[in-house]
Chains A and B, each alone.
Chain A
Amino acid sequence: MSETLKIELGRRYRFAASHRLHSSHLSEEENSRIFGKCNNPYGHGHNYVVEVSVSGDVDPATGMIANLDDLDAFVERQVLDPFDHKSLNEDVAAFREKVPTTENLCIEIFQRLKSFPKAKLERVRVEETRNNSFEYAGDNLEGNRP
């Protein structure tokens, strides 16, 4: 029976960072109209929550899909270290060009985590605030979603 079931492990992490939504392809007025408060030149910040889901076989010896220490260390190295208490625009190369919306942040975090060697990355969900969250499961959301 168990082989017909799919098990995923979900883990939540937190980091705090600043950003400014601004596109060099748009005029000052357009930037201000489209991004509103988020276009403030000095930026602003959020306490982000990152929810990471991985799947795989549950090892009968440990009862685990992946050892939490391995997952935590990987996320720490790939995402939390480079993002926590940083300016996403200034300190993360991917956002020199791309606007650091949480949509783009979600995709960037997915790219940074998809090489996790111990289990398959299913999806990344990022909460920018308690009221906004974004989810990315690779190119094919439906396909990766059970």
Chain B
Amino acid sequence: MVLLTRKIEFSASHVYHNPNLSAEENRRIFGKGNNPHGHGHNYTLEVTVEGEPDPITGMVLDLKELKEILEREVMKRMDHRHLNYEVAELTGQIPTCENIARVIWQLLEPKITQGKLHRVRLYESPDLFADCYRNGAKAAGKR
């Protein structure tokens, strides 16, 4: 099995606020992330697909196709958007790295038909990221 990874970057704004909590609780739990006017990040998304290289093309899947899937499913939805208000899949969720990574997994997983989605890693900043895997998936390599 071979792992193939494609990286894309997008910029988006968000705010951390749970309407079921008091203003003080929101401030305590989310800190600066609770600023009512929101804030933004340059997100970096790494999408890893697993599979066997096709004997004719030598590819797990055509990178061009993966690029188009990412453009359609992620960039169009999230780039230069407000994650709380403009991304239907995140409605009712706090748009943390963890939740965005899971939504991206759910968007991509059914679209990747050559090879299989192995990992979604979403960086909110170089020092903070979330990984999403299929539960119980077996390690294929060191990274």
Name A's B-contacting residues (CB within 8 A): 1-13, 53, 58, 60-65, 67-69, 135, 141-142, 145-146
Contacts and interface: CB of A to CB of B under 8 A. Distances in A.
B98 A1 contact: no
B132 interface: yes
Interface of B: 16, 18, 20-21, 29-31, 93-99, 101-102, 105-106, 121, 126-139, 142
Given A8-B130, A11-B128, A63 B98 contact: yes
Given A12-B126, A58-B98, A142 B18 contact: no
A5 to B, nearest CB: 6
> Would you list the 4 A-B pairs with minimal beta carbon distance, nearest first?
A63-B94, A63-B96, A146-B133, A145-B139
A145 B31 CA distance: 32
A2 B136 contact: no
B111 to A, nearest CB: 14
Contacts of A10: 121, 128-131
Given A63-B95, A64-B98, A146-B136, A9 B130 contact: yes
23 contacts: A1-B106, A2-B102, A3-B135, A4-B134, A6-B136, A6-B137, A7-B101, A8-B130, A9-B128, A9-B130, A10-B129, A11-B127, A12-B127, A53-B131, A58-B99, A61-B20, A62-B30, A62-B94, A63-B98, A64-B96, A68-B128, A145-B139, A146-B135
Contacts of A68: 128
A111 B105 CA distance: 32
Interface centre among B20, B95, B105, B133 (most CB of A within 10 A): B133
Contacts of B129: 9-11
B139 A146 contact: yes
A7 B132 contact: yes
Given A2-B106, A63-B96, A63-B99, 7 more contacts: A11-B128, A12-B128, A13-B127, A58-B99, A62-B94, A63-B16, A64-B94
A35 to B, nearest CB: 25
